Amino acid sequence: MEITTKQFKNCDMVIVSGRIDSSTAPQLTETLEGITGGGRFKIAMDMSALEYMSSAGFRALLSSQRTCKRYNRGEIILAAVPERIKEALELAGFTELFKTFDDPIEAVGNF
The binding site for other proteins (CB under 8 A) comprises 19, 21-23, 52, 54-56, 58-59, 62, 65-66, 69, 84, 87-88, 91-93, 97
Instruction: Report yes or no: 14 and 36 within 8 Å, Cβ to Cβ.
Output: no
Smallest distance, other proteins to C-beta of residue 20, A: 10
Q: Output 7 or 22, the one with its CB closest to other proteins.
A: 22
- Angle separating helix axes 25-37 and 55-69, nearest 10 degrees: 10
Smallest distance, other proteins to C-beta of residue 52, A: 7
Alpha carbon 66 to its chain's center: 12
